[in-house]
Structure 1
């Protein structure tokens, strides 16, 4: 008997493997199951009916249950489920098919969300995409839909808390909800949040930071919203500027004429009363609480205090907040999920000596452009509260917003999130997604990484989004298309093509001609040709579905027309200066056509599916951006029009050589080729890499290169690279910058920082070796040019 039990533990009955057809299946669950799981079961029944065309009324059974319920306990006792896959696990689940005369499909979770994730996993296996509603991915009819499974145990997610922050909703989600989806409320409210929460669960996320701009009613101003989110089992969290769930950007929450100054030094009792009232309302639900405080909305701390006074003030704020939490929740503060987000000036306060209680999770931030400002140092990695990340794929702020379309490379996202994870950030990942649409590809990648970062590496992450599109639309050259699209956006996002800076000095404000040259190396012509080729490809590939347009066609064709708009305006200016008036008129007309095409694309998006997304898509003007406008062009009356040949011209490199980064001699095993990032879509992560250059008829060479503008990993580290020629004395390049400084602004706008060094060489040598060596971790070189007298001034140099 003991031997039989041992064999059952090793080879439970559910491991035999079967195919379970879901048509007509009845879903059974214990009567004591949580209401969140019961609600998800309703979705499963609906999904099965949608796919198979029938409702459950047959004899086959789907068993759904959470660890501890009677049914799951019996299945564990029979050896159908391994108890170790559920007991004490966080948000884990098992899917198996019993080895019985009438097999049953079993979905068992370690806790309520584990069970819910198992439910939606089954929905996805039978053909219901997590994006069936938000991206209109079609659900194909299949009466024979089945789950094929031996025994699947999900394991725990690699990141405990995973979610999104709806932000800068002024031009998308807010007008869409107000005038379309939730017009009876006239705001983003419970109906919208219901759809958001369902999406999050289907993506295996578990938390939401609700929309919080002043244009939107505060989350708690619509009481049903928190109830709806709770009914899905979604945790509410908040941004860096919403302490203890209070949104001071909303006048219903904080209004200066009524409440006084948002200044803890002078008005702490009023602020404490606001927090006390909010916790009385919300603490019965599952939340993660932001501690400390900033100014109103996204501004710095009020009072213009020196750093020496800010540190003790914020320490007192955190102490008072924790006392409130203990009183309302009835637990020790060390048992209540809390975060501290050192965003913008709060980072300075932290680095100046603020002692954050060790149980509070430190949530490290990127610089709003995808580059982590720092990660946990060795001492911080020992904190029991751990660490997390707050990351952006959409942003409103200086030096320029990018709210319109998705353009963050998966490789950049992976590099920065994996770096943070490897330094202890496994507790909390929050993604700023703007309006959710059209950031679907980036959201999917982020959530899949958060669920299991170990499924990814530097070699496969770049294929993730192409694989997603292939699963939805079938065979296609999605990888090639995405590689080209993201490469072009890497050197300049579509929103940045006006070459303007926001919230800046007069010299950098206003639309300007780009730095892409129509003269040197056909940079501008090649850019236009690449985009047009992409646009033509997706036009031909389109299956006519709303999903294809939303996920692929719209961002590519929108990016093409935005580039065409500004480059044609630039060409108009250049031709006019040369006295070529007829050709300048033609370029101006091309600009007008591009502008009209953008308008048409936005309109088409909004009118999809009889206006389902009406109000969602707009060229968000932010508060001072101008890229949505027509750039100035000049028409010459009576000059007529004459087309210009903008076909890229072939060129030869005389006096310089662009290094093929895929061909190098590595002297260190940690130097590696990284595809999916960089101006030519491949880069070298150092280590040490040596490049061979053939004989050069010169006494000296210039080594020109571009690095990816990462921040030092933490205080005490830097961004240094040593460059040497033929084993001689190395020169040191150090990329030092300060957030919101001129150098940093330039770097994040073009995703690169240029370096330039001159070396004497012996021109008699048949071969030269150029060596790059990282002196600090996480250094990536994305372009190298060896120049001995031929390089023309250009934005990116020869391709």
Structure 2
């Protein structure tokens, strides 16, 4: 009986609302705990001291342990912890408080990373943001900081492997590390990677694809970097072009004079020796292995250009790579995490019949601009290796770099990742974050989705970032944050700040030059764009001024720099356009002033906080061939020399349908947070092949003399979800003959480039009206489910 009462006293008291004050608490753990957990316990002690100002010397106790340890076994036996919440689970944890005279806080993990995530969860609950160092989020002093008593079982993460790819670091992370943070090395090295790994764990991520451009020393050229990642418990993965952890973009790894051509057909022995050496040297560490082969860095595979020949070569490569893994890892290849990324030309090879071993995870990439190119079909969903996602917030390449500031609409990110996740992409999610900064808000959202995707929905995805900022800077600002973000992303949807020069990179001279924009001073769209930007800058400034002084630089680096810089980049090009159209030198001076403001914003970013982030924004990121960062040519007389070609101009009509006012029923849905007007019509779920139906859209009154109508229907330029699907919808007027609209494009083609730079494809058509009807209607019908209509404009055609 006494034993039974003791067990009752130890039951977690979530229903009683108990709390545990962390000040002066000592942290206890078994000697058998892994070094990674013990290191994280050190962070917990540091965090408690930051918050409470106290050292762990009191009578209260925090117990930290991993499943299988003596302490955790005892707590399970006593009923403090539930075995089912830990045993056999991947990266799961429990936080609980014992019901004793002197309660104890328990942090228990199913494995080492589960325990570490539980530790950092407690840190976050007492007020330490994952971004306390990387974004300088202040830690509020609170001697009474406490953890709520609820028995919390995390469950397993939605996605097994979750992490970031540091990429295109030439103009941000590399100069910052080399000149500011890790000057003694002059490179991105172990000191920088220690901070990266801590951030990843606090975000509940578990893998890192290190920086790999030739400007940076290869990850394995600094052996301490791998040791640091292991000390934190972070797995190393690599990008699509780094087979078996080998970075051929670095001359220290592959030198053409020394090693010959990176061509498997003619130089396989040298290539395989390099891969063999790398796996031999890293066999002691946990890694995720990129399989297959591409060219040097981001180039296409060398040798035959026939996709079927390439497929046979890659199959040989797979076999040899798996032999190497088995030799050094002393496990069957089927037991090791491996990925194949059908990126760029390798997707063509895959479609040509490439046989990828069933246990290798297929990692589907987006098109570098946020649109998933493919998701697993019903056959691929049965593969034992499953599938994953490689997604971009930042990109250097055709048709234009997107490296400077964040601009991926939250709803687009959710809608596209939902597509992939629904098709089984729960094995591996890698996010290209560029330099990490200034992508903090979007990185946080992506990692939260990867960890617990089910907490997101169409109803809350667009509000997530404003809510997150409000938690950091004050709930009273949430509405203003939502206003700023909605309009910031909406304006970037129509044209990202980096795209305002309207040049296309790595293109013919006709297109690879600066042009005036498609926004018009005649119709007012240019003025409205400038006013909209100005208004969100005013809204941002009001919030910043209301914050405590220590919070202002934090908000600036996470939001203010991007908002103000986007405005000034638009000022620069729109006033240059006004100067070209009128020859007015006052507009030229406005353009120059905008450029000065851009440089002042850079200076503020690099000098605030004592210069902590100096060189992280070393310049407006130019990429390799971009021109948008340069000053446009100005004039003292009107000129059409910079007028945008007609094939890049929008064919909109005078009248517009209000999509937001439609009475929508399933399978149709209105989504807020995408499109030129920030509300779009989704025509069924993309993977619901049975979705069908139509929606009737009343047309406001037309002149009696009109006998037909011209329509411009703008759709979101997504990719078909599989090779047997397309991007089609049908439209008719007054129940007449339907016209099928199909957005069929080829990657790297002119049509695709224009669409991706503008987030739209416009269909223009003329259809007859039924003169006998009083109320005319547009009918949109599902052909390929998931199409998204973002704008409908029209004009009547009068009878001649």
Of 760-769 and 615-624, more deviation after overlay is shown by: 760-769
Q: 1:769 to 1:14 in 2, by over 3 A?
A: closer
Contact (CA 8 Å) 1:707, 1:782: kept in 2 or not?
A: yes
Distance in 1 of aligned mates of 2:571 and 2:237: 41
Task: Tell me how far apart the structure 2 counterparts of residues 150 and 265 of structure 1 sit (CA, whole Å).
Answer: 61
Measure the CA separation in 2 of the matches of 1:132 and 1:6: 41
Cα distance, 1:696–1:141 mapped onto 2, change above 3 Å: same
Deviations 1:412-449 (Å, cap 9, x if unpaired)? 00011110000010000000000000000110010000
2:762 counterpart residue number: 754
User: Does the Cα contact within 8 Å between 1:395 and 1:434 map onto a contact in 2?
Assistant: yes
**Residues in 2 aligned to 1:407 and 1:354: alpha-carbon distance in whole angstroms:** 35
Is 1:685 aligned with 2:686? no
Q: Which moved more, 1:14-23 or 1:453-462?
A: 14-23
* Pairwise CA distance, 1:765: 2.3
State whether residues 15 and 96 of structure 1, in contact with CA within 8 Å, keep that contact through their aligned partners in structure 2.
no
Deviation at 1:788, TM superposition (A): 1.1
Q: How far apart are residue 307 of structure 1 and its match? A: 1.8
CA deviation profile, 1:440-465 (whole Å, cap 9, x unmatched): 01100100000011000011000110
Q: Deviations over 1:163-209 (max 9, x none)?
A: 00000000000000011100100100000000000000000000000
Match of 1:662 in 2: 660
Report matched runs for 1:24-43 at 5 Å: 24-43=24-43
Contact 2:10–2:98 (8 Å) recurs in 1: no
Q: Which residue of 1 aligns with 2:744?
A: 736
Q: Which residue of 2 aligns with 1:774?
A: 782
For 1:225-236, list aligned pairs within 5 A.
Answer: 225-236=225-236
8 Å Cα contact 1:723-1:773 kept in structure 2: yes
Aligned residues of 1:14 and 1:80 also touching (Cα < 8 A)? no
| Residue pair 2:93, 2:114 contacting (<8 A) in 1 also | yes
Q: What is the DSSP-based 3-state SS (H/G/I as helix, E as strand, rest coil) of the residue aligned with 2:681? A: strand
TM-score, L = length of structure 2 = 0.94
Q: TM-score, normalised by structure 1?
A: 0.94
In the TM superposition, what is the alpha-carbon distance from 1:367 to its structure 2 partner? 0.4
Q: How many equivalent residue pairs?
A: 765
Distance 2:614 2:13 in 1: 52
Conservation of the 8 A alpha-carbon contact between 2:200 and 2:206: yes
C-alpha distance in structure 1 between counterparts of 2:762 and 2:3, whole Å: 68
Q: CA deviation at 1:762?
A: 2.6
Q: Is the 8 A contact 2:308 2:353 kept in 1?
A: no
Deviation at 1:7, TM superposition (A): 9.8
Distance in 2 separating the partners of 1:6 and 1:768: 76
Structure 1 Cα separation of the partners of residues 755 and 531 of structure 2:
25
In structure 2, C-alpha distance between the alignment counterparts of 1:150 and 1:352, rounded to whole Å:
54
What CA deviation, in whole Å up to 9, does each residue of 1:378-421 have, x standing for no partner? 00000000000000000000100011100101100001111000
Q: How many Å separate the matches in 2 of 1:634 and 1:695?
A: 46
The residue aligned with 2:564 is: 557
SS at match of 1:733: strand
Task: Deviation per CA, 1:605-659: give whole Å up to 9, x if none.
Answer: 011211101111021111110111111112479xxxxxxxxxxxxxxxx984211
Find the counterpart in structure 2 of residue 794 from structure 1: none
Preserved contact between residue 9 and residue 79 of structure 1 (Cα < 8 Å): no
- The structural deviation recorded for 1:541 is 1.6
The residue number in structure 2 matching 1:649 is none
**3-state secondary structure, aligned to 1:672:** strand
Question: Contact conserved, 1:15 with 1:80, CA < 8 A, in 2?
Answer: no
Contact 1:721–1:734 (CA<8 Å) still a contact in 2? Answer: yes
CA distance in 2, matches of 1:570, 1:558: 18
Distance 1:13 1:603 in 2: 52
1:530 aligns with 2:532: yes
Unaligned runs of 5+ in 1: 577-583, 638-653, 791-799
- The answer to whether residue 172 in structure 2 is matched with residue 166 in structure 1 is no
Deviations 1:699-737 (Å, cap 9, x if unpaired)? 000121110011000111000001111222210000001
Using the alignment, how far apart are the partners of 2:450 and 2:315 within structure 1? 31
Maintained 8 Å contact 1:720/1:733: yes
Alignment of 1:377-396 (within 5 A): 377-396=377-396
Match of 2:649 in 1: none
Structural mapping, 1:444-593, within 5 Å: 444-474=444-474, 475-476=476-477, 477-520=480-523, 522-542=524-544, 543=547, 544=549, 545-576=552-583, 584-593=584-593
Q: Structure 1 593/274 Cα, relative in aligned 2: closer, same or farther at 3 Å? A: same
Q: 2:773 aligns with which of 765, 769, 785?
A: 765
**Aligned-partner Cα distance in 1 for 2:270–2:295:** 15
Are residues 512 and 9 of structure 1, via their aligned partners in 2, closer, same or farther at CA, if it must alter by over 3 Å? farther
Match of 2:735 in 1: 727
* CA shift in 2, pair 1:715/1:4, >3 Å: farther
CA RMSD of aligned residues (A): 1.9
CA contact (8 A) 1:180 1:615 kept: yes
Kept after mapping to 2: 8 A contact 1:661/1:684: yes
State how 1:225-264 maps to structure 2 within 5 Å: 225-264=225-264
- Between the aligned partners of 1:426 and 1:184, the Cα distance in structure 2 is 40
Contact 2:164/2:432 (<8 A) preserved: yes
Corresponding residue for residue 630 of structure 1: 631
1:702 pairs, out of 707, 710, 727, with 710
Cα pair 1:14 1:81 within 8 Å, conserved: no
CA 1:761 to 1:318, structure 2 compared with 1: closer, same or farther past 3 Å? Answer: same
Residue 642 of structure 2 corresponds to which residue in structure 1?
A: none
Kindly indicate whether the alpha-carbon contact (under 8 Å) linking 1:694 and 1:766 is maintained by their aligned counterparts in 2: no
